[in-house]
Structures are given as structure tokens and as C-alpha cells.
Amino acid sequence: MSIEFGKHLSVTQTPIPGLIVIDLPVHGDERGWFKENWQREKMTGPGIELPDFGPVQNNISFNDAVGTTRGIHAEPWDKYVSVACGSIFGAWVDLREGPTFGAVYSARIDASRAVFVPRGVGNAYQTLEPDTAYTYLVNDHWSPDASYTFLNLADETAAIDWPIPLDQVTISEKDKGHPRLADVVPMAPKRILVTGANGQLGRALRAEFGDHEWIDYATRDDLDLTAPDLASTRRWRDYGTIINAAAYTKVDLAETPAGRAEAWAANVTAVSALARIATDNDITLVHVSSDYVFDGGSDTGYGEGDEVSPLGVYGQTKAAGDAVISVVPRHYILRTSWVIGDGKNFVRTMASLAERGVSPKVVDDQWGRLTFASEIARAIRHLLDSGSDYGIYNVSGGGATMSWYEIAREVFRMTGAPDGLVSGVSTEVYFADSTLPVAPRPTHSTLNLSKLEDTGFTPRDAAHSLAAYLDV
């Protein structure tokens, strides 16, 4: 079979999501031919846009005879397959969980064509010429602990139209014994790790993502992020996403010597370890940050590109963690403000005081918007599912900017407490009698949400979320 010379580098999408056929320019004359088999800059650039999948191993399969058939294996890594000499018939079946499970695609492949096979898509090859060799780049090393999925080459549902009938070719006994599609256990998605699973956000993430065998919800007792052997505690190549919901958030205690050390350990040292693991294993790292990275001097709302200028130790550690995360190739940093979730928080405290008829004094010179943990979890799910550009995103409740005093009054009103029980006080006066260190607070914490909205996410009005949270 002759090689087609003179093609332009181009791609063809297939009915199987992520399975891409690449036509390669091959330059030939009487001496032979030459091609760029994998050229990262061109192939991941505009117009082609193959995944930058980070291959770590190059394998070659040589086949003596026509009809050698290697049968449908779905592997837990991405694979770039091309022909060095000869030609093959390729067949691919989607064996991943999801709506395209069982979808089939086939094509003839010679030296002028390659195929990108995503994780979980079964691939099989039949040689059409003697002395055929094909190569494949993969982005993980073989491991005896890796999980594979298989399909029988003769499956009637897939109904692959093999050029050479299967009863006339060489097939291994193992490949002959693989299950039919109805008995195939689909390959699960790459694993997700959620840290800080017992916190307000961690519990909201469990409610958002659910309990699945491929999601790990880890507490500090399960996984010490500051442990020196963290990189060897798991097979990190099996993970596609880490959602870091763990943090030190005691802003006042962070101003003490012991608290300062704990804040830096949790918010910087642990984050640095996760960043290294994510970078080394092509993992998407989702990290939750804070309005405390700003000094609170802007009354127009902070955007993602505004300069950070933290006032206290907590804010300094969060800003440092952001800087570390920003160098991870696949990262989302979600900056939030005034987080409310399942646990002890300002809203629950105010509701309890209202129920008991207590008249609190509440700070009236700090401004921002509540961010419910469920809203952060929803935004994280949206960014991951939509494949939005990596980077920093602000996320909070929508609607009007309010002071803590105004929010407290709303809580009292919504719970049916008499009007006038809440009184406002300045931050300076509120903390005047404190015998413990007090962290400086940003005066203005309102976050501009337009970047997140541009991805198709609609923030819920904070006042409406407050009413739902109070169940009124």
C-alpha cells in the first residue's frame, strides 16, 4: 500500500469524544520519506489543538505477517498511535462510562496518518501488510496495578468490519476470551481527590459530586498533606483532579506564633506539595483562596487581575499559596469571601441569637457578599465540566454588597425576630477590649464576578441563598 505524500497537517474528529485522527505531512523522494511524527508545538497549537498529553514512554509493535490482530484493550492512559512502516486497520470502541459507551470508529492507518486515543477508549489493530511496525506514545508508565477494560474482537454489538475475517488471522487466546459489550465493566473516570472533606466546603463538595468509588474524600487523619512521603502515598497518575478544600482559616490565631506556623504549614507548605504532585502527574488542581489576599481598599470590587496586598498573616499565606498554585499547568484558583456552610459560622450564630432574643453588636464598616459553600462547590463543578480556561476566578453570591451588620439584620428579620435588636459598631470598637491578637480585616471584600459569568455560570443572589439556608 503506497503512502500518500503531500498532505497538510490536519485533524478529523470522530464520533468517539476525544478520539482524533491526524493526517501527517510526509515528504518523500527516490531515497525514501520523512515525517514529523509528533511535533508538540504544531500539534497542540491553533488549528490542530491536540491535547498536550505529556508522553513519558515510546513503544513499538512489530508484526511479521498480514492479519496479525491485537484486540480491543482500553488502557488507563492516553495514547498516540502512528505507523512507521506498512499499514494497519484500526478499530476503536468507547469503553468509558457515559452516553457514548459502545460507540465505534474504524480507519486504515499508514505512515501519513496517526490517531490520538484517549484514556478508556478500547483500541485494536490488524496488520494489512507484512513487516508492519506501529509506534505509540503514552503518558504513563506501565504498572501491574493499573486498571484495564477489554472487549471481544468479535462482539456482535460493535460489529467491527474487519478487512480480514477473524477466523483467518492470528489472535492470542487471551484476546479471544474477552467479554462481549453487555458484560464489559466500563472504565471509570480518572480519580478525584477532595481534601478537607470534613470542613464546610468539603461537605458541600460531597453533596455536589456525590459518593462514587472514584472520588476520595480525605480528612487530615486520612492524608497528611505536609508529610514528607506524600508523593508516594498514592498512585497519583490515576487521578485527574485534586480539589483542595483544606486550609487554615483561623484569621486571628494566625497572628500568634503557634498559629502563624500552622497557617504557613497548611496554606503554603501543603499547597506546595500538592502543586508538585499535580504538575508531575498532569492533574488539574482546584484551590480555594480568599478575599484576604487584598487590603480592602477598593470599594469598586476586586477583579482577578488586581494586585494582592494582604494585611495579616492569614492573607499572606493565602496569597503565597495562590502564587504557588499559579505555576501548575492545569489549575483553578477560586477566590471567595465570607463563606457560609454546614458548620459553625456567622449566619448560624446570628440565627441562634435571634431565637434567644439576644441583642448583638455587629461590625458595620466591613463590606462584601456572602458565599455559600454550596455555591463554591457548584462553581467548581461548572469549571471542571465546562473545560473553562485555567486560571483565577472570583466566586461569591451575587446581588448587593452588604455589611456584616446588614446581613445580621436580615437574619433576624428572616427568622421573625423583633426589629431593632441588632446594632452596628465599628471594627475598631468591636475589638477594642480583646485580650488576644486581632487580625486586620479588609474593609471592602466585594468580588467582581464577570469572568466567572462569562464561562456560563450564573451566581445565585446571596440574599436568596440566605433565605434558603435559613429555610424561610
List the catalytic residues. Answer: 73, 136
Residue 174 to residues 126, 146, 169, Cα–Cα distance (Å):
16, 18, 14
With contact defined as beta carbons under 8 Å apart, do 296 and 443 qualify? Answer: yes
Q: Tell me phi and psi for residue 339, to 5 degrees.
A: -75, 135
The set of cell numbers assigned to 276 is 508538585
Q: Is the dihedral of CA 56, 61, 67, 70 positive or negative?
A: negative
Give 320's contacts (C-beta < 8 A, 6+ positions apart). Answer: 264, 267, 268
Cell 494489512 belongs to residue: 128
φ/ψ bin of 400: left (φ > 0), alpha (ψ from -120 to 50), beta (otherwise): beta
| Amino acid symbol at 120 | G
Q: 387: exposed, middle or buried (C-beta count within 10 Å: 0-12, 13-18, 19+)?
A: exposed
